[in-house]
Chains A and B, each alone.
Chain A
Amino acid sequence: MFTIIKQSAQFLRLGNVLRTTVTSRPAFFCTESSNPPGLNIAAITNGDKDLEHKLKILVLEIDVLRQEGKLVPDDDYLKESHWKELLILPSLSQRRKFLEYLFKISKKKENKKLKKEQKRLEKFPEAKPEKNENETFEEFVSQYDLGHNNIMLRVYDSTMNQLYNNRLVQAMQFGQKLVVDCGYCDDMTKQENKNCAKQLTLLFSENRNHDDPFDLHFCNINNESVLMQSLNKLIVTLHEPWFPLNLHETSYLETFSKEQLVYLTPHCREELVEYDHDAIYIIGGIVDKVNTQPLSLAKAKREGLRMAKLPLDRYLQWGSGSGKSLTLNQVASILLDVKLTGDWKYALRHVPRRKVVEFTHEKINQKNKWKPNRERPGFDNLKYNRRPSDRMIKVGSIMND
């Protein structure tokens, strides 16, 4: 069965080659750059003639950029979504920046792959024995090795998920609520929306792994938006009914009482000094790399909500250079810690250290200072997961000699 599919695939590929050789143009100029492989014009343009024309120009443009020595990824790296985005970008310089970004990512991936392969070769210089497809059950059982017969039970991801989700479901019943306002999709660029989706994923997972998680509510969502589309790409089971996350297409004002809500916005003047365990805090789901207008402040002002900002200046000495912006997951982690411990200093460890000068060199030096190991490890208090004891004896005996 498989072999038949494989063969037909080969034929298909052969057919492709044949077709391209037949249709190649008379070569007065170098025309190796017809349509790149994997570019499905009909799927991208939906039969729009103007768009098709534009797309053809862009194909040429990218080729010319590459030939001029600009940083452009290979043709087969560009996927349908990339082409669609290129069509939206209005100016050449924007397209060039986007292509440069893609180029860097593609090279990064390539290098990672190469490094992995090299490492593997260092570890196992000889090629892996090929998997025997007609392996009988007896043969399978007789091999003792990971992936074959083994005393270790495999812990599946789903098992781990269940464990984590259990805590989350408990929080949904009894825990404090935290709202993320996802209503800023239109104020962000596409890239910002994607970054926001990524941060929301991290926020969800960090919340789930915490000892005392929040009951998360994503409000003002719009399922058509880039933000939700890319979030759905990152969390495939997002819309499953069992998934432990509350999604509301409506505003938080309809679900919760106004008195409890506190909008966390960096542009306001009040500091959140005393953490309120009864309040429902709202985090604005914005990544503002381009547009740094106080959007969440404006929204809170319009809706007449209480506002607060994290006491970043009270507890931290900020370095110059990078701004005071935090990612969504960092804000959530800070809130999680302050909820559990009530200690802002401890909670603010989630602020990236590069932004803070308070983390003095002294502390770092103390940490890294070399201390002679005065005591020889006693063999009586060896614990599980320590180094194997026979090696220890050897070292010991050498030293005694």
Chain B
Amino acid sequence: MFSSKIFTRISFHKINIRTFRQQQRPNPSKERSSPNNLLWKIIEENNIKGAQDWKDVRTQIQNEIRSVTPASIDAMTVSICTRKKKFNLALSYLDFLNNENVKLNLATLGKYFKLLYVKGVEESLATEDEEKILQMYDSLRTTYPVLDSLTLDNVTQALSLTKKWKVCLDLLDEIKVTSSPTSNTYSAVIAAAFSNKADNLAWKLLDELIENNKTIQDVVYITYFKRIITQSEKIAHIEKMFNFMQNNGVQIEPENVDTFVEAFKDLKVVIKNSNIHTRGVCKCCNKKLKTFELSDDEFNNLKTKILDNVIVGKDVFNKTTSEELERFNKFTSNMEKFDVIIDGLNVAYSAGVKQSSYVTSGLVAAVVSHFARVGKKVLVLGRKHMSKWPQKNWKYVQKNATTFLTEDLSQDDPYLLYCALNSGKDTVIVTRDLMRSHKFLLREVHLKLLFDRWLSQRQYLLLRVPENGEPIFKKPLPFSQIAQKNEEYWHIPCISDSTSASSKWLCIKL
């Protein structure tokens, strides 16, 4: 019988599998010299106290920054002051323009609306501001029968704070003529619907937001939790939001974590920042988190979509040939259940493509033997040229695993995915590929979510093969990164930049 002895010839300690890190290259020179930053620098340096100071600053800006034109200076100034949350500064600039009898152009008006919205959200809307918004909206409508999506976005956000918030729904449809509403606009309207007790509408819009692949802004959470304070079944309402997050895989944006926690202040709920141990235990409450398995329907849906969208796609010949697809279908139809499916070439080349074929084949053999020795049924997918590998290793692979080899000109990844899905829910995939390009081809947001959930639970990532020939894997986490209830504690995941297991979570006791 073949034993693991055969690949002792290969010195595994030499093989360091490269780990790919996402590198974010900062570009300081560009950052510093962008017109917005220059603009803000000039404004900051000048220490502006009132409307009268703006005159010199305005000419200074025009002289010093070449890319700021007389047409764009007003909108840019108001916008940068709003973004830095210096509302009085922005208002004083608008006062100055009024004194100078400068007529506001459309972009500046849009920024004015935005200013009033941001100010209204931060400091709660004053009545005179509300009147101002309504009056400005009316006169804007009389001047411009049609409006562009950029202006409409700002107008919608501002109007969502006023008593005429229902107009926003029409405005959303108007935006959709040329583009799609931004995350901010959606969130503003949803928040307005919640605070005006139109819950059904708000939930409907939330679904629409998820469908359009936008992110939920913190306004939504704040208004929702504020609204339900007075209601009798407080906890049920909170859980409704958490369930929504669970179903749609919503995680909290890193910059929104603090405001999210803040929103719970008045609800008399214990909320703590926490980490989840790699074993799946919360560090705060010591409860174990669970995994979410895909239901049978979801699983089958994903399987057919992989075949239709990913393997066949627009043209069968792009990724394979029709004969090969037939051969594959025959193979899968009377395929037995496999425990492990190995992406042969991915494993082989995980130490780099320039290794000799003794090393590449040895890696595959090592991985196969790791599973075969404990009696697992193994399937290796690859391309036909693999059969020309050093026979000692290749024979070992063939003896201990089933193999399916595609033509050298075909892609084997889609077949791998289909095999894994076809083989059943418990099958493990061994690959380093995150399959992003195949995920993209699934198109629907909902399917992509399912795909992610499935792959993250089933994927063994080969890290390295040390000298003793026993491969080391990064195994899937024993819990899903999804909002979930574990006994009386709710756990909400927060997005973090690293993909490590020790990501931030919120631990909430209702």
Residues of A within 8 A of B (CB): 25, 27-33, 53-54, 56-58, 60-61, 63-69, 90-92, 267-269, 293-295, 297-299, 301-302
Contact = CB atoms under 8 A, between A and B. Distances in A.
Given A29-B139, A301-B321, 12 more contacts: A25-B143, A29-B106, A29-B143, A30-B105, A33-B105, A61-B148, A66-B71, A66-B72, A69-B72, A90-B179, A92-B149, A301-B317
Interface stretch (B107-115, B156-164, B193-201, B370-378): B107-115
Contacts of A268: 409
Contacts of B180: 91
B409 A64 contact: no
Nearest to B73: A69
A297 B111 CA distance: 51
Given A64-B151, A67-B108, A68-B150, A29 B408 contact: no
B351 to A, nearest CB: 19
A28 B109 CA distance: 12
A60 B147 contact: yes
A53 B150 contact: no
B110 A64 contact: yes
10 contacts: A29-B109, A57-B178, A58-B178, A64-B110, A67-B106, A68-B111, A92-B178, A294-B318, A299-B317, A301-B321
Interface in B393-431: 408-409
B360 to A, nearest CB: 17
Interface in B119-171: 139-140, 143-144, 146-151
Contact of A54 (B36, B68, B177): B177
B148 A31 contact: no
Contacts of B15: none
Nearest to A265: B409
Contacts of A66: 71-72, 107
Given A29-B109, A91-B180, A298-B315, A64 B321 contact: no
A269 B408 contact: yes
B79 interface: yes
A53 B173 CA distance: 14
Which are the 6 A-B pairs with shortest beta-carbon distances?
A67-B107, A298-B317, A61-B148, A30-B103, A69-B72, A60-B148
Contacts of A32: 105
Contacts of A67: 71-72, 74-75, 105-108
Interface string B227-244: 000000000000000000
A57 B107 contact: no
Contacts of B103: 27, 29-30
A267 B409 contact: yes
A271 to B, nearest CB: 14
A401 B146 CA distance: 84
Given A56-B146, A67-B72, A29 B179 contact: no
Contacts of A33: 105-106
Contacts of B143: 25, 28-29, 31
Contacts of A302: 317
Contacts of B146: 53, 56-57, 60
Contacts of A29: 103-106, 109, 139-140, 143
B478 interface: no
A352 B148 CA distance: 44
Nearest to A50: B177
A213 to B, nearest CB: 32
A269 B410 CA distance: 11
A58 B109 CA distance: 18
A31 B149 CA distance: 18
Contact of B409 (A61, A90, A297): A297
Nearest to A298: B317
Interface residues of B, number: 40
B107 to A, nearest CB: 3
A222 B108 CA distance: 47
Contacts of A54: 177-178
B343 to A, nearest CB: 20
B35 interface: yes
A92 B179 contact: yes
Contact of B35 (A69, A269, A301): A69
A310 to B, nearest CB: 17
Contacts of A90: 179
A27 B318 CA distance: 59
A298 B107 CA distance: 49
Interface in B32-89: 35-36, 67-69, 71-72, 74-76, 79
Contacts of B72: 66-69
B317 A57 contact: no
B151 A60 contact: yes
A325 B139 CA distance: 55
Contacts of A25: 143
Given A29-B104, A64-B106, A67-B107, A57 B35 contact: no
A384 B36 CA distance: 60
B107 A61 contact: no
A300 to B, nearest CB: 9
A111 B71 CA distance: 21
Nearest to A30: B103
A180 B150 CA distance: 44
Nearest to A295: B318
B153 to A, nearest CB: 10
A31 B103 CA distance: 9
Of A27, A67, A90, A302, chain B has the most CB atoms within 10 Å of the CB of A67
Contact of A64 (B68, B104, B148): B148
A399 B180 CA distance: 77
Contacts of B104: 29-30
A158 to B, nearest CB: 45
Given A58-B178, A91-B180, A298-B317, A68 B149 contact: no
Given A58-B178, A294-B318, A68 B107 contact: yes
A65 B79 CA distance: 13
Contacts of A65: 107, 150
Nearest to B315: A298
A282 to B, nearest CB: 16
A297 B315 CA distance: 11
A57 B147 contact: yes
A29 B456 CA distance: 55
Contacts of B75: 67-69
Nearest to B79: A68
Interface string B280-324: 000000000000000000000000000000000001011001000
